[in-house]
Amino acid sequence: MGPVELLHMSVFSQSFSPCGRFLATGNNYGQIALFSLAAALSPDATGLSHKPVLTFTAHEGPVFCLLSTDTHLVSAGNGEISSWSWSELIKKHVKSVWTKRPNYRSSLEIPEINSMILNSRDNSLIVGAGDNNIHVLDLEHGTFKSVLQGHTDYVHCVSVREREAEILSGGEDGAVRIWDSRTAQSVHCIEVYKYESCARPQYGKWISCLATDSDWMLCGGGPSLSLWHLRSLSPTSVFPLTGCQRQAAFHQDMILAIGDGPYVSHCLLGGDIKAEIPCTPKSLNSLQLNTNSTEHRVLTVGGSSHHIDVFTNLSYRAFSLSF
């Protein structure tokens, strides 16, 4: 890849292998790069240890999302989802196990797949797409079993509350919808931008990030990042972060958030910003915590750069991997 492509590279997605020893990252050129965390974190690591052990083209357009099941890496781009066997990828064998396309309204439509999450309750893949719908793929039978319809603009993010059998989604229309996964019906619709404490009309109303932790939800985008209690459906904390947040995650007793700036924000549940930790990319798209391995427990952050920052300690960047 030439210097111009590297200059304009963005990392959109990341996923750790089930064993926790590898990191897969997807970029705007449709490539997936696999990094060995074991090599990068070794005391004998060299510059080469921070380069991919494998790079391959997975999709024609950007790789918008990646996730791992117990055995497979699942990737999605413009209108299609592919699955790859981790055991084969680790041996550097690149061959997709399957590629599927949701049942879109018209064959001319190629909506982006913006977000995917696993629902282990029924072994399904929840897919948020650019056709304003959420498509549910039954992984056991390989078929799309339902479509959740209600958003009036494209879906940016999805999350799951397994205990309640609920799916949450956020969209360009400014709504967070809560769905009953058993009936595929929308049970609640929260228009976040209509709440004065969250509204930021200068940024717009779209919801670009969503995370849940039992009875709590985080959401943000145009509106400020906010923490909601899902039983009362009300915002309990609003975070005074600048710019738009693209991803947020619950971590121990705080919240990690990334977006327009070159830093990871550490926020306290009450609404205060505890720290902003500098990163290499100027803006950030993806934040991933490796919970699959205690030995390689890291936070990785990717964005508008061919570098992926690695944090072994949340307070500072240890080193960067690069495409």
In a domain, 268, yes or no: yes
In a domain, 114, yes or no: yes
In a domain, 303, yes or no: no
CA-CA distance, 81 to 86, in Å (whole number)?
Answer: 16
pLDDT value at residue 105 = 78
Torsion over CA: 134, 135, 139, 145 (sign): positive
pLDDT value at residue 322 = 96
Contact 248, 261 (CB under 8 A): no
Helix (H, G, I), strand (E, B) or coil at 177: strand
In a domain, 124, yes or no: yes
What's the whole-number average pLDDT of the chain? 95
In a domain, 291, yes or no: no
Confidence of residue 2 (pLDDT cuts 50, 70, 90): confident
Residue pLDDT, tens place only, 70-93: 999 999 999 999 999 999 999 999
Model confidence at 107: pLDDT above 80 = no
pLDDT value at residue 216 = 96
The whole-model pTM stands at 0.95
CA-CA distance, 36 to 19, in Å (whole number)?
Answer: 11
Q: What is the CATH number of the domain that holds 227?
A: 2.130.10.10
Domains held by the chain: number = 1
In a domain, 174, yes or no: yes
Residue pLDDT, tens place only, 28-73: 999 999 999 999 999 999 999 999 999 999 999 999 999 999 999 9
In a domain, 247, yes or no: yes
CA-CA distance, 306 to 27, in Å (whole number)?
Answer: 8
**Which are the contacts of 296, defined by CB distance < 8 A and separation ≥ 6?**
20, 21, 37, 38, 41, 290
> What is the span of the domain harbouring residue 222?
110-278
In a domain, 213, yes or no: yes
